Amino acid sequence: MEKEFVVIGLGRFGGSIVRELNALGVDVMAIDNDEARVNEYADIATHAVIADTTDEAVLKSLGIRNFDHVIVAIGDNIQASILTTLILKDLGVKTVTTKAQNDYHAKVLNKIGADTVVHPERDMGRRIAHNLASASVLDYLELSDQYSIVEIRAGETLQGNTILDLDVRANYGLNIIAVKRGKEILVSPDPYEVIERGDILIVIGHDNDLNRFEKKIA
Ligand code: ADP
């Protein structure tokens, strides 16, 4: 069965989700209580609806519980975001993803049953900081508050070494899970694989260990 998505709140974050889903050919209903915002998405979303989603009767009349996944992208109005999430879960929506403005907001969202809580500004800030602190870090994905995956571009310090030479497992407690080389991707690379300049190492581990490794090769 095809997935059915709803995005509530058409600010920069919600709006970009709607645009991207549309570009991917996925049906999406877009909701906002601001008429101008809804008009902006009239030709992009499958349906664009003006509605205040803190009103349970309105959500019911939209048949919201028939959708697989609702994304709550209400920004500054934390009260509206919490109330909307609560009503969606009460109405039986299977999966609700809500954007949190801060840690307190996130705590409440988790408590009331949001399935996923996202922090786009915080996460993007962290990714950019890692990229700034070490020019070789290309990307950064947080797995939990302690563990992450980073993409590191091999420069002078790493080239010519085998994975065994680096022994990041013993030296840093890290694991190289894959190496991207041009269009090729070596998953679970052989320990005798010689690292070439420009290879991208995908490394998983504890944030403290990743930081030590990033500093070493910066
Ligand atoms: P961003 O930081 O992603 O740009 P904004 O705070 O600008 O987010 O956008 C949030 C959107 O959510 C706004 O377009 C606003 O009109 C909408 N919104 C706020 N409260 C409600 C509500 N109760 N029902 C529906 N949409 C809402």
Confidence of residue 3 (pLDDT cuts 50, 70, 90): low
CB 200 within 8 A of CB 154: yes
**How many whole angstroms separate alpha carbon 211 and alpha carbon 168?**
13
Residue range 10-23: mean pLDDT, rounded: 96
Tell me the backbone φ, ψ of residue 205, rounded to 5 degrees: 170, -170
108 and 134 both lie in a single domain: no
96 and 185 both lie in a single domain: no
33 and 85 both lie in a single domain: yes
28 and 112 both lie in a single domain: yes
pLDDT digits (tens, 9 = 90+) for 75-118: 899 999 999 999 999 999 999 999 999 999 999 999 999 999 99
Any atom of ligand 1 within 6 Å of the Cβ of 8: yes
Residue range 168-174: mean pLDDT, rounded: 94
32 and 87 both lie in a single domain: yes
Any atom of ligand 1 within 6 Å of the Cβ of 145: no
pLDDT surpasses 50 at 50: yes
Any atom of ligand 1 within 6 Å of the Cβ of 9: yes
Q: What is the ipTM of this complex?
A: 0.95
132 and 199 both lie in a single domain: yes
Its sign, for the CA torsion 152, 127, 206, 116, is: negative
Provide the 10 A C-beta neighbour count for residue 8. Answer: 27
Dig out the tokens for 96 from the structure: 């609700």
114 and 157 both lie in a single domain: no
Total domains, the chain: 2
210 and 127 both lie in a single domain: yes
Residue-level pLDDT at 2: 58
pLDDT surpasses 80 at 133: no
Q: Model pTM? A: 0.78
Residue range 3-15: mean pLDDT, rounded: 94
**How many whole angstroms separate alpha carbon 35 and alpha carbon 114?**
27
86 and 30 both lie in a single domain: yes
Query: How many residues are there in the chain?
Result: 218
Residue-level pLDDT at 169: 92
128 and 199 both lie in a single domain: yes
Terminal CA-to-CA distance of the chain, rounded, Å? 47
pLDDT averaged over every residue in the chain: 93
Which CATH number goes with the domain that contains 31?
3.40.50.720
8: Cα separation from own chain's centroid: 17
- Kindly give, in sequence order, each residue whose CB lies less than 8 Å from that of residue 159, ignoring residues fewer than 6 positions away: 195, 196, 197, 199
For atom 24 of ligand 1, the residue with the nearest CA is 52
Domain hosting 31: range is: 5-118
Confidence of residue 128 (pLDDT cuts 50, 70, 90): confident
% of the chain with per-residue pLDDT over 90: 80
Residue-level pLDDT at 1: 47
Kindly give the distance from the C-alpha atom of residue 73 to the centroid of ligand 1, in angstroms, as a whole number: 7
pLDDT surpasses 60 at 213: yes
Residue range 141-146: mean pLDDT, rounded: 87
Which CATH number goes with the domain that contains 185?
3.30.70.1450
Domain boundary among 77, 99, 118: 118
131 and 28 both lie in a single domain: no
> DSSP assignment, residue 194?
B
For atom 16 of ligand 1, the residue with the nearest CA is 34
Residue range 22-27: mean pLDDT, rounded: 94
> DSSP assignment, residue 210?
H
Kindly give the distance from the C-alpha atom of residue 143 to the centroid of ligand 1, in angstroms, as a whole number: 28
Residue range 13-27: mean pLDDT, rounded: 96
Domain boundary among 61, 88, 118: 118
pLDDT surpasses 90 at 123: no
- Kindly give, in sequence order, each residue whose CB lies less than 8 Å from that of residue 216, ignoring residues fewer than 6 positions away: 157
147 and 49 both lie in a single domain: no
Domain boundary among 79, 103, 118: 118
**How many whole angstroms separate alpha carbon 16 and alpha carbon 194?**
41
